[in-house]
Amino acid sequence: MMTSNPLDHDTSDSEPAGIRLAEAARETDNAAWLDDLTIELRLLDVPGTAIGDAVASAREFLADSGARAEESFGSPARYAVELDLPTLPEDKSSNREVLLTSGIGVIGLGVLGQTAYPLAGGDDGLAVRLWMVVSLGATILLLGLIPRVIPVLLRARTRPRTVGLIAAGISFCGFCPVLLSVWWGQVVLFSVPALPVAIGAGILLLAPAIWNQLRQNLQDDPIIEPGTNAAPVLSRGVRLLVVGVNWIMVVYGAISFVLTFALYPNN
Amino acid sequence: MQPKPWPADWMRAALSLCVLRTLAPGPTYGYAIATALETSGFGAIKGGTLYPLLTRFEAAGWIAGEWRPGAGGPGRKYFALTEAGRRELTDQIAQWQLFSTTVHDHLQKGPAES
């Protein structure tokens, strides 16, 4: 049975421009709110079909009532919790996989960074120094924070200042060991060939990102729009964010590597 | 219409039963439920209040939801009472009437003498 909405708003040309602008602003705000609700429900491990149903129900109510989402439903995070939808059983093997792939990527990033300096200077050998081993240990410790940082970044995506502060913090932690290497005593523990180590580190850095991208594309639990069998297309912002989070280490590694070559003295 | 909004804790106590009662005549959708309750004098019911209740009823098996297609999308989700929901509604109405009689008697006569 088809339904019609007696409350559909008249968008004819006779409507004043101010009202049309207000209506467009409301629709934009509501679309952003629905995106936030999708993310909050995903972070709560609600199955894709239930997310699709909850988001479509909220969209339907907003279209019928002509209300602003924030006024009618409150904050997306609180509403997602209040819905109290059943969640997927916690998959410990999936959590381990995330930690493992993130760990491999971080180690690849760290080691690649260390090979950049000797390679930029035309040196075939990589002198493994004490501070490098310390940095690697610190990196592995930071690794435990990654699963916690991703939800924070997703929730803060509409607050550029917070995202900027987090990014600045991560960058500071990443660059500090490199900067310290310029001034610190250089106690060499042993030496290894730089180029094969750089290639190996590059593979370690790329492999997890490619693996995660493939897994995302397979979409093991897509969000299904009610009444259809197809997943709706996410907004461009959300899609860019998901891809960005996955490839952020590769981009960071590539930029650092290129900058080391570009800024190396006498190059 | 009531002169001022009902106290929030009264609404919390009564709303779930009243939502079930709104579904008794036949399947209906979220905004129509909110409008029916407002017309009955409960004040404006927000989506953030209504849908968590409907989700809870669906999980309890008291109502069943069905999406009916609209012109340009998934349309509307219609909720209908199940047999278990009708039994629950009958039970709750009987209990509420007892409760409201108890409250009314207490308010009229004051505490019972021991």
Q: In whole numbers, what is the pLDDT of chain B averaged over residues? A: 92
Residue B81: left if φ>0, alpha if ψ -120 to 50, beta else—which one? beta
Assigned domain for A9 exists:
no
Structure tokens at B89: 């509604």
Q: Which residue has the tokens 């042993």?
A: A190
Rounded CA separation B57/A211 (Å): 41
CA distances from A137 to A141, A179, B25 (A): 6, 17, 67
Q: Note the pLDDT of residue A129.
A: 76
Q: Please, which pLDDT band fits residue A4 given cuts at 50, 70 and 90?
A: very low
More confident residue, A33 or A138: A33
pLDDT in tens, A87-103: 877 665 666 677 777 77
CB contact under 8 A, A60 and B76: yes
Do A120 and A251 fall into the same domain?
Answer: yes
pLDDT in tens, A58-90: 999 999 999 999 999 999 999 999 999 988 776
Do A79 and A132 fall into the same domain?
Answer: no
Identify the CATH class of B8-109.
mainly alpha
Do A42 and A122 fall into the same domain?
Answer: no
Q: Whole domain around residue A40: which residue ranges?
A: 17-83
Do A101 and A58 fall into the same domain?
Answer: no
Instruction: Report whether pLDDT(B50) > 60.
Output: yes
Q: Note the pLDDT of residue B69.
A: 83
Query: What DSSP character marks residue B3?
Result: S
Name the residue in chain B with its Cα closest to that of A86: B59
Do A77 and A120 fall into the same domain?
Answer: no
- Structural domains of chain A, count: 2
Length of chain A: 267
Do A129 and A257 fall into the same domain?
Answer: yes
pLDDT in tens, A131-188: 777 677 766 666 666 667 777 777 777 777 888 887 787 767 766 765 666 566 567 7
Assigned domain for A1 exists:
no
Structure tokens at A41: 């429900």
Do A222 and A111 fall into the same domain?
Answer: yes
The model carries a pTM of 0.64
Residue type at position B46: K
Most confident of A8-17, A251-260, B6-15: B6-15
Do A113 and A209 fall into the same domain?
Answer: yes
Distance from CA of A224 to the nearest CA of B (A): 11
Distance from CA of A70 to the nearest CA of B (A): 9
More confident residue, A249 or A57: A57
Q: Quick check: B96 contacting A, CB < 8 Å?
A: no
Q: Which residues of A touch B30 (CB under 8 A)?
A: 57, 60-61, 64
Rounded CA separation A213/A157 (Å): 20
Rounded CA separation A64/A30 (Å): 13
Do A55 and A110 fall into the same domain?
Answer: no
Assigned domain for A64 exists:
yes
Residue type at position B28: T
Q: Quick check: B75 contacting A, CB < 8 Å?
A: yes
Q: Note the pLDDT of residue B4.
A: 82
Q: Please, which pLDDT band fits residue B102 given cuts at 50, 70 and 90?
A: very high
CB contact under 8 A, B47 and A65: yes
Distance from CA of B71 to the nearest CA of A (A): 7
Nearest Cα neighbor of A131 from A186, A182, A170 is A186
Do A134 and A233 fall into the same domain?
Answer: yes
Which of these three, A28, A48, A83, is where a domain ends? A83
CB contact under 8 A, A60 and B55: no
Question: Percentage of residues in chain A with pLDDT exceeding 70?
Answer: 72
CA distances from B67 to A223, A228, A231 (A): 16, 10, 16
Assigned domain for A11 exists:
no
CB contact under 8 A, B52 and A225: no
Q: Are strands B28-29 and A188-193 parallel, antiparallel or unpaired?
A: unpaired
Contact A142, A245 (CB under 8 A): no
Do A206 and A162 fall into the same domain?
Answer: yes
Return all residues near A60 (Cβ < 8 A) that are at least 6 apart. B29, B30, B31, B74, B75, B76, B77
Q: What is the mean pLDDT of residues A5-29?
A: 69
Contact A87, A45 (CB under 8 A): yes
Q: Please, which pLDDT band fits residue A267 given cuts at 50, 70 and 90?
A: low
Q: Note the pLDDT of residue A8.
A: 47
Q: In whole numbers, what is the pLDDT of chain A averaged over residues? A: 78
Which of these three, A30, A62, A83, is where a domain ends? A83
Q: Which residue has the tokens 């897994």?
A: A215
Rounded CA separation B24/B40 (Å): 15
Q: How many Cβ atoms from other residues are within 10 Å of residue A155's Cβ?
A: 16
Interface size between A and B, measured as CB pairs under 8 A = 83
CB burial of A50-81 (b: ≥16 within 10 Å; e: otherwise) equals bbbbbbbbbbbbbbbbebebbebbbebbebbe
Do A78 and A98 fall into the same domain?
Answer: no
CA distances from A45 to A86, A265, B22 (A): 9, 50, 32
Q: Note the pLDDT of residue A264.
A: 75
Lowest mean per-residue pLDDT among A6-15, A20-29, A105-114, A132-141? A6-15
| Test mutation, A41, A49, A51, A64, chain B, max B CBs within 10 A | A64
Query: Is residue B79 within a helix (H) or strand (E), and if so which, with residue range?
Result: strand B76-81
Assigned domain for A152 exists:
yes
Assigned domain for A3 exists:
no
Query: What DSSP character marks residue A90?
Result: P
pLDDT in tens, B53-98: 999 999 999 999 999 987 666 689 999 999 999 999 999 999 999 9
More confident residue, A110 or B35: B35
**Phi then psi dihedrals of residue A9, to 5 deg:** -85, 140
Instruction: Report whether pLDDT(A2) > 60.
Output: no
What number of helices (H) and strands (E) belong to chain A? Answer: 10, 2
Distance from CA of B61 to the nearest CA of A (A): 14
Question: Percentage of residues in chain B with pLDDT exceeding 90?
Answer: 82
Q: What is the mean pLDDT of residues A241-266?
A: 81
pLDDT in tens, A184-212: 656 777 888 888 988 999 998 888 888 88
Which of these three, A83, A108, A139, is where a domain ends? A83
